[in-house]
Structure 1
């Protein structure tokens, strides 16, 4: 009986923090339904007197958001695919192969993760310019093809795979690709999905680097396109209802993705990678 009050306190704390995380999105959607005067009204109203649902259609028609969203989804998906493949292969080499300088090489990779991202922009820009990859999908994708975080995450997951399973597969004559696909991947599937989601969200929301290497509006990602909408159609913040409406439907693909993979996120956090 003494545990009941503690459980209620935990639930209340979780509800409070959950609401704190969701509230900005709810406020954004509600603000999209208000008039400009209602947004600046003090004290603010929780719900508009007359919801302006047409703001979503108006914002969508004012800019090529379909192209922006396609660019973000396409480039983010391609980056995720490449990062998953090369991170998994590199992690497999660090965990299952024995070669001289393995630990030193892994330490060097981790050290590069400590570098500020902005410090890599100038050399990366020069490299893309030399290969004529500026303002292209290829430049956006290839410049983000490697993930140190992915290598580290997959390495930690692969270390949890029982060695007995891998040794048994080798005795049976299984090759490296067979071990990865038939043993390691099913055992660490939650890690693959969790990293894919994290990487997709990160690249979908990426702003500074895509803005530096893209000039054509047809190549704009949703973050750059939303900024242009804020400057042009939003009149630098004078049309907040339209800006809020545009911000709301640009987040929609991520919400849909989260609904479908949320169980894998929880599994990836709680599971240690071992199967019975």
Structure 2
């Protein structure tokens, strides 16, 4: 049974990894070899220069920095806001707490596209269109983060919190000196998921950001694809550019995988 289970897991892993492997291999092929797939799986002579050509054909370094910078700032803001709101729902008493939490969860069921028009109007009124301020402000809250941190905080022994209150610890100190260290896997899980989501975000940023210097990697890839109608037929360069865009995400997951897996299986101290 163990061997069959491992074989099934390996098969599913290869299935999930196949799109990236095919993209990376296609980046090393000529146009003719790429179009002859699946007859041609491997390039006869790896075209490593495709990566350099793609990198030099558009400011991908700037695009990747833009996406990484905005994603990092958004993750920090979302983490701060979500942790404070989750703390209020778990360790503060106020009228209508359960109703308010239910309303917050209900907003998670709204399609993202349904919020685009009112969000766009609000950013226009605040003069935040075509800026990172608007992108960060419009993503400052995360319902998923609030829910995840609330569940993690609920699993921590209340005696620990009561002891800290008796010692005179403030709410801020309890949150970041007690709850945060005991919930690090949940924070790491949320940070990774949120960062990947913001890094790969395309539709909303493309609606509010038009300045080419501020484009994220997703919009930059599209710009590269359609630029002057030329790169749409140079698929190896498109695949090379797409591979370059994915590499930061792979490195991030390799670094954070221990915390990510731990966060999925366990959150804080069971109580």
**Residue number among 47, 64, 67 corresponding to 1:69 in the alignment:** 64
| 1:267 matches 2:262 | yes
**Contact 2:186–2:267 (CA under 8 A) maintained in structure 1:** no
**Residue number among 162, 170, 174 corresponding to 1:175 in the alignment:** 170
**Residue number among 222, 234, 240 corresponding to 1:227 in the alignment:** 222
SS at match of 1:232: helix
2:161 corresponds to: 166
| 1:256 matches 2:251 | yes
RMSD: 1.3
State the shift of 1:43 in Å: 3.9
Change (3 A) 1:111 1:42: closer
1:27 corresponds to: 22
SS at match of 2:90: helix
Runs of 4+ in 1 over 6 A off after TM superposition: none
**Contact 1:234–1:242 (CA under 8 A) maintained in structure 2:** no
CA distance in 1, matches of 2:38, 2:203: 35
2:190 corresponds to: 195
Tell me, which stretches of 5 or more residues in structure 1 are unaligned?
1-5
SS at match of 1:237: helix
Q: Greater shift after overlay, 73-82 or 233-242?
A: 233-242
CA distance in 1, matches of 2:244, 2:153: 38
| 1:140 matches 2:140 | no
CA distance in 2, matches of 1:62, 1:117: 33
CA distance in 2, matches of 1:32, 1:228: 18
1:3 corresponds to: none
Change (3 A) 1:234 1:19: farther
| 1:122 matches 2:117 | yes
Q: Provide the aligned length of Structure 1 versus Structure 2.
A: 271
| 1:18 matches 2:16 | no
Change (3 A) 1:236 1:181: same
State the shift of 1:231 in Å: 0.7
**Contact 2:231–2:237 (CA under 8 A) maintained in structure 1:** no
2:152 corresponds to: 157
**Contact 1:234–1:240 (CA under 8 A) maintained in structure 2:** no
Q: Greater shift after overlay, 165-174 or 114-123?
A: 165-174
1:111 corresponds to: 106
Equivalence map 1:57-96=2 (5 Å): 57-96=52-91
State the shift of 1:265 in Å: 0.7
**Contact 1:158–1:188 (CA under 8 A) maintained in structure 2:** yes
2:96 corresponds to: 101
The C-alpha deviation readout for 1:80-109, integer Å capped at 9, x for no partner, is 000000000000000000000000100110
**Contact 1:77–1:200 (CA under 8 A) maintained in structure 2:** yes
State the shift of 1:30 in Å: 0.5
State the shift of 1:172 in Å: 1.2
**Contact 1:82–1:145 (CA under 8 A) maintained in structure 2:** yes
The C-alpha deviation readout for 1:12-58, integer Å capped at 9, x for no partner, is 00000011111111110100000000011154322111110000000
